[in-house]
Every structure is written in structure tokens, then in C-alpha cells.
Structure 1
Amino acid sequence: MDDSKLIELVQQAKHNQYKDANVRDNIWIKIAASLKQPMGDCKHRWKNIRDTFMRHKRASKLPTASARSKKIRK
């Protein structure tokens, strides 16, 4: 799966009614069709990308390297 294409499609899919489950499912169906992948795989990969990004973002906010308790993985 092409991560950069997935990220681009998710950014374009912003919708003001995203809280509605039907709207959200339709958005993911369109994303999955564009990538020619199962919807579940696309959602799982997106969650992994988002979680990894947030983990790195939180780690970079720590004041100094000596205060970090975990090693940052690339």
C-alpha cells in the first residue's frame, strides 16, 4: 500500500459530517476503492501511520534528551 497516497486521500476526505457513521464508512469505501485495497486494511494502516506520527510528536516535545525515558525509533 502506498502510504503517501493514503495520507493524501485522507487529507482530501475532510467532511463536516464525519461523526455520522454512514458518511464515515462512505469516505473509507471511496479511499479503499482508490487504492484498490480492502477498507479494513486502509483504516488499519491509517491508524498505524497516525499513531506513529503522534508518538514521535510527543517524544519531540520533551525538554532534553536526558529527560527521555525511551529511545526514539526511526
Structure 2
Amino acid sequence: MKKIDDLIASVQSIHGRYAAGRMERETVREWVLGLGGYPSPFAEALAIAMDWFRGKHDLDAEDLKTRDLAVLKAIAEAAET
């Protein structure tokens, strides 16, 4: 359970710093892609996040950041669904 608690705390911290402009997208991308395996329901949310951050997206910076933040939020909220 501690590993899950650590994941949620980390995602919330990353989300907050990125939303506030204190973290670059590339740092967030590297962090997401470096996450290990987690059990369901987090595995599904992480797979979506990894696919999202691996891809190239033709969005303006504001829309890209909005989508990035939504993907991060989905990881933190995975246990609530």
C-alpha cells in the first residue's frame, strides 16, 4: 500500500508544480515514462499516461498542458473510480 500512497503523493506533487509553472513538460514526461509497474486500477491510468507522453501532439502549448494535467490527475484519481 505504501507504494500506491507514494505514487499518489508524487503525482499530486508533480501535477501541482507543473500546473504552477515550476516544472517543465520534458521533466514530467521523463518522470511518467520512468514509472514502474503498479496494480489495477493504476496500471490502466499509467498506461494511458505513458502512451500520451510518448506521443507527439500537434496542440498549442496551453492545450497540451491542459491535456497533460488531465492525464496526471487521472492517475491520482484512479482509485476513486
Larger Rg: 1
* Interval containing the TM-score (normalised by the shorter chain): 0.3 to 0.5
TM-score relative to the length of structure 1: 0.34
The structure where helix makes up a greater share of residues is: 2
TM-score relative to the length of structure 2: 0.32
